[in-house]
Amino acid sequence: MIKKNKEYELEIIDLTYEGFGVAKIDGFPVFIENTLPQEIVNVVITKVLRKFAYGRALEIITPSPDRVEITDKVGTRIGTMPLQHMSYDLQLRFKQKMVRETLAKEIDMSGVEVHETLGMETPWGYRNKAQIPVRMIEGQLETGFFKRGTHSLIPIENYHIQDPKIDEAILKVRDILRSFDVHAYDENKHSGVIRHIIVRRGQFSEDMMIILVTNGNNLKPKEAITNAIQEAIPHLVSLVQNINAKKTNVIMGEENVVLYGNDFYTDDLMGKKFCISSQSFYQVNSKQTEVLYQKAIDLAELKPTDTVIDAYCGIGTISLNLAQHAKHVYGVEIVPDAIVMAKFNAIENNISNATFEVGKAEEVMVKWVEEGLNVDVLVVDPPRRGLDPQFIEASLKTTPKRIVYVSCNPATLTRDLAVYLENGYELMHVQPVDMFPQTVHVEVVISMTLKNVD
């Protein structure tokens, strides 16, 4: 019988989708962080549950050839870099295997290749956005990240996976807030001022946006803080106070106050200029976004006569690139601010064959179907929860010849694909793209075609 606090010498035989090594004791699974297949490890059992246990590696007796030196142990503790002990080649193979196995749980994958994960040349310092919690520790305002599974803040100055300029900006803002004796938020007492510091940077434009998420409107001395941040941060084009007075884990509130510049910054993507507001979604890895979107465009196989729907279009990053190759693109997005940005971005890039509408994708899709819109290609890039069943039903009525699905969650992708495949579509191409090196997350872009269509 496995006992807590007992030590075992174990062989790691597999990896979980969370990146934990898997060993077995008399057939009973044990999950161990920071271990790799083929390793012999001295492990102490830390928790025993009904169907599996957790252990902590005390010593790597025989290391894997794919083990690399850890960049920062803190990144493992807080969960920002759970795969940093893996060679990058193994990370890419791990994600390819994860996608293949997830799809195969519900879909017949015989004859369908899951292609090798498209990775980065330099898989560090890639994030163009940081959302950093702020707390008081021993009477001092600190920025950092929560220890995995807790709300206990660990102070951090170098996140390694973020743009180094963003890390520098976080520290400058932290020090300015300290100098004005601004107190951080206390979630237990619902007191204090600063909840989060959000920094967004155009990796090609170098524009910087800083958002101070505050517990109410009481940011004092507001003008002095604004001036100090403006002087300290090069390329600052936007300083926004976002007010979130609710007792919630949701980071941002609905009210914005622009303290300096505009409520947007710009970046270049695939040869186009995009304006991005504080509330707008924008992929966090600009370089890999170009890889991902180019693959989506290629798989769409667009002709100049094609009409395209881009559901969950955001600020139009995919739509406006699709529009170059199609007759007309229709984009839908639930965030009104994003549609404002999408329309503005279309004008900025001299693109006239794109139409954008605010609303839930499933509801707007139904309306378009009722209006008789003829769709040749459907492109979807939904949030992690995947597609609404009502949306899938409406999209099937439009009978698009090709569907391109961009997903950040292989599990919900698999669920949705199964429905399309049951309704006359054939899975043609599966391409994982590594948007989040050193983490377990992966983007996948797939294409389907309607059977029996010339």
3-class SS of residue 85? coil
Q: Which residue has the tokens 């793209």?
A: 433
Residue 375, both tokens: 């769709």
Q: Give CA separation, 302 vs 327, 346, 373, 424, in Å.
A: 9, 19, 17, 21
Give φ, ψ of 297 to 5 degrees. Answer: -65, -45
Return d(Cα 284, Cα 279) in angstroms, integer.
14
Whether residue 402 contacts residue 448, with contact meaning beta carbons closer than 8 Å, is answered with yes
Contacts 24+ apart (CB under 8 A), 415-423: 415/106, 415/386, 416/386, 416/387, 416/392, 417/103, 417/106, 417/107, 417/446, 417/448, 418/106, 418/107, 419/389, 419/392, 420/392, 420/396, 420/448, 421/107, 421/448, 423/396
Nearest to residue 439, comparing CAs of 58, 29, 88? 88
Residue 75, both tokens: 């990144």
Q: Give CA separation, 219 vs 172, 177, 426, in Å.
A: 17, 10, 55
Return d(Cα 24, Cα 31) in angstroms, integer.
9
Whether residue 236 contacts residue 210, with contact meaning beta carbons closer than 8 Å, is answered with yes
Return d(Cα 435, Cα 413) in angstroms, integer.
17
Q: Would you give the DSSP letter of residue 324?
A: T
Q: Which of 408, 430, 442, 444 is catalytic?
A: 408
408 is catalytic: yes
Contact partners, residue 271, CB within 8 Å, separation at least 6: none
Q: Give CA separation, 252 vs 154, 185, 228, 245, in Å.
A: 21, 14, 23, 10
Hey, which bits of 183-252 come out as E strands?
194-201, 208-214, 236-243
Catalytic amino acids? Answer: 408
